[in-house]
Amino acid sequence: MALKVAIVGRPNVGKSTLFNRLVGKRLALVDDRPGVTRDRRYAEGNIGDMDLTLIDTAGYEDVTDESLEARMREQTEAALEDADLILFMMDAREGVTALDRIFAERLRHQHKPVILLANKSESRESGGGIGEAYALGFGEPVAISAEHGEGMADLYAAIVAGSADIFIEELDEPDKPIRIAIIGRPNAGKSTLINRLIGEDRMLTGPEAGITRDSISVDWEYEGHNIRLVDTAGMRRKARVQEKLEKLSVADTIRAITFAEVVVLVMDKDDAFDTQDLQLADLVEREGRALVYVAAKWDLETEPQSRLAKLQQMAEDKLPQLRGSPFVALSSHSGRGVERLMPAVLQAHATWSVKVKTKDLNTWLSLATQRHPPPAVDGKRIKPKYMAQTKARPPTFVLMASRAEAMPEQYKRYLINNLRESFDLPGTPIRLIVKSGSENPYAPGGAKSGPERYKGDAKTAPRRVIKKAEREDRLSNLPGKALEQKKAGKGKSKPLSGLKASANKKAGSSVAVQKGARGGARQVSRSGRVRTGQKHAPKK
127 annotated ligand-binding residue: no
Q: Is 11 annotated as a binding residue?
A: yes
Cα–Cα nearest to 116, from 100, 98, 133: 133
Question: Taking each helix axis from N to C terminus, what angle separates 244-259 and 275-287, rounded to the nearest 10 degrees?
Answer: 40
Separation of alpha carbons 344 and 207, rounded Å: 28
Q: Is 10 annotated as a binding residue?
A: yes
Query: Is residue 539 annotated as involved in ligand binding?
Result: no
- 186 is an annotated ligand-binding site residue: yes
* Dist CA 48 CA 405 (whole Å): 55
Is 408 one of the annotated binding-site residues?
no
Rounded CA separation 21/5 (Å): 14
Q: How many residues can be counted in the chain?
A: 540
> What is the three-class DSSP state of 210?
coil
Flag whether 418 is marked binding.
no
Cα gap 130→141, rounded to integer Å:
7
Closest CA to 397 of 420, 424, 374: 420
* Residues 407 and 432 sit within 8 Å (Cβ to Cβ): no
Establish whether 121 is an annotated binding residue: yes
Helix runs in 375-522, H state only = 409-422, 468-476, 480-488
Q: Is 60 annotated as a binding residue?
A: yes
Q: Does 422 appear as a known binding residue?
A: no
d(CA 447, CA 206): 61
Residue 57, marked binder: yes
Q: Any binding-site annotation on 449?
A: no
Residue 13 assigned ligand-binding role: yes
- Specify whether the CB–CB gap between 129 and 95 falls below 8 A: yes
Task: Assess contact for 500 and 524: CB atoms under 8 A.
Answer: no
Establish whether 232 is an annotated binding residue. yes
Q: What is the DSSP letter of 150?
A: B
In this structure, the number of other CB atoms found within 10 A of the CB of residue 403 comes to: 17
Of 314, 248, 244, the closest CA to residue 281 belongs to: 314
Residue 120 marked as a ligand binder = yes
Q: Does 190 belong to an annotated binding site?
A: yes
Contact 285, 313 (CB under 8 A): no
Q: CA angle, corner 400, sides to 398 and 403, nearest 5? A: 125
Question: DSSP per residue over 365-383, as a string?
Answer: HHHHHHHSPPPEETTEE--
486 belongs to an annotated ligand binding site:
no
CA–CA gap between residue 105 and residue 96 (Å, rounded): 13
Instruction: Please tell me the number of Cα atoms within 13 Å of 172 on its side-chain side.
Output: 3
Q: Is 30 annotated as a binding residue?
A: no
176 among the known binding-site residues? no
Q: Is 153 annotated as a binding residue?
A: no
The reply, when asked if residue 263 is annotated as ligand binding, is no
Range 92-96 contact pairs with CB under 8 angstroms and sequence separation of 24 or more: 92/118, 92/119, 92/120, 92/121, 92/126, 92/129, 92/130, 92/133, 92/143, 93/120, 93/123, 93/125, 93/126, 93/129, 94/129, 95/128, 95/129, 95/132, 96/129, 96/132, 96/133, 96/135, 96/136
235 assigned to a ligand binding site: yes
Residues contacting 104, CB < 8 A, separation 6+:
88, 136, 137, 138
Which residues are annotated as part of the binding site for GTP?
9-16, 56-60, 119-122, 184-191, 231-235
**Annotated binding-site residue numbers:** 9-16, 56-60, 119-122, 184-191, 231-235
